[in-house]
């Protein structure tokens, strides 16, 4: 019986891996308009988004104003979030181009480095983010995720009382629709289990 279960689990894992590999970014190489990440994320952008849980229900809405700039192959994406519950958050991405269509990025609430690749009109990010769970907002200010050390979890969130930080994996896809508009969909997971999604639309001013 154990052998039969092991074989079934192995087969299921193989199907899962095959399904994931079939959605690689290479299939978008000929899609237009071609995304130039350094050109698009330059200047000021506005974004509107929602968090949905695994059932698809919207659990939070938000807006973002992004101020972006590049010096050579190094870029800064300064994001100011306003959530539907009135709380605010800032995240600053620091990006570096490492090759043709390839980028690495860091932010205070990202564990290690984010790895990204662009093909055609598409950009794909993969990263682990330290997110707060539970707790109550403190008087010190709006919630902002504290960075968890690599390989572990931070005990609480900056600006929140009693929150626990968990590390969540993001599979983040961006699709350039016009020279001004981009759509973004990110899947959140933990231990391979899908937790929910983040969906955004960006508009370049």
Per-residue pLDDT band at 159 (split at 50, 70, 90): very low
pLDDT of residue 144: 39
Is residue 146 scored above 60 in pLDDT? no
What DSSP designation does 147 have? Answer: P
Q: Which numeric CATH code is attached to 31-204?
A: 2.40.128.20
- Collapsing DSSP to helix, strand or coil, 37 comes out as helix
Q: What gap in Å lies between CA 143 and CA 149, rounded to an integer?
A: 19
Question: Contact, 191 vs 199, CB < 8 A?
Answer: no
Q: Which residues pair with 48 in a beta bridge?
A: 63, 201
Residue 146 and residue 162: Cα distance in Å, rounded?
13
How many CA atoms, within 13 angstroms, populate the side-chain half-sphere of residue 90? Answer: 6
What residues does 53 pair with on adjacent strands? 196
- Strand, coil or helix: 61: strand
Residue-wise pLDDT for 63-112, tens only, equals 999 999 999 999 999 999 999 999 999 999 999 999 999 999 999 999 99
**138 three-state secondary structure:** coil
38 and 70 Cβ atoms separated by less than 8 Å = yes
Q: What are phi and psi of 154, to 5 degrees?
A: -75, 150
pLDDT at 16 over 70: no
pTM of the model: 0.77
């Amino acid at each position: 019986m154990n052998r039969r279960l092991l074989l079934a689990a192995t087969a299921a894992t193989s199907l899962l891996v095959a399904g994931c590999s079939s959605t690689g970014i290479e299939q978008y190489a000929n899609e237009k308009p071609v995304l130039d990440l350094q050109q698009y994320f330059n200047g000021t952008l506005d974004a509107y988004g929602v968090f949905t849980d695994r059932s698809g229900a919207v659990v939070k809405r938000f807006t973002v104003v992004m101020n972006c700039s590049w010096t050579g192959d190094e870029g800064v994406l300064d994001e100011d979030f306003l959530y539907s519950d009135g709380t605010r958050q800032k995240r600053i991405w620091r990006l570096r181009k490492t090759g043709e269509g390839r980028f690495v990025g860091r932010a205070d609430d990202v564990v290690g480095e984010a790895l990204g690749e662009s093909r055609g009109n598409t950009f794909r990010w993969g990263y682990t983010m330290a997110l707060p769970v539970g707790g109550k907002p403190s008087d010190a200010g709006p919630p902002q995720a504290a960075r968890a050390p690599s390989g572990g979890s931070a005990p609480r969130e900056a600006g929140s009382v009693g929150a626990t930080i968990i590390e969540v994996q993001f599979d983040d896809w961006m699709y350039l629709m016009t020279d001004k508009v981009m759509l973004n969909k990110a899947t959140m997971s933990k231990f391979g289990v899908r937790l929910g999604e983040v969906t955004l639309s960006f508009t370049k001013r």
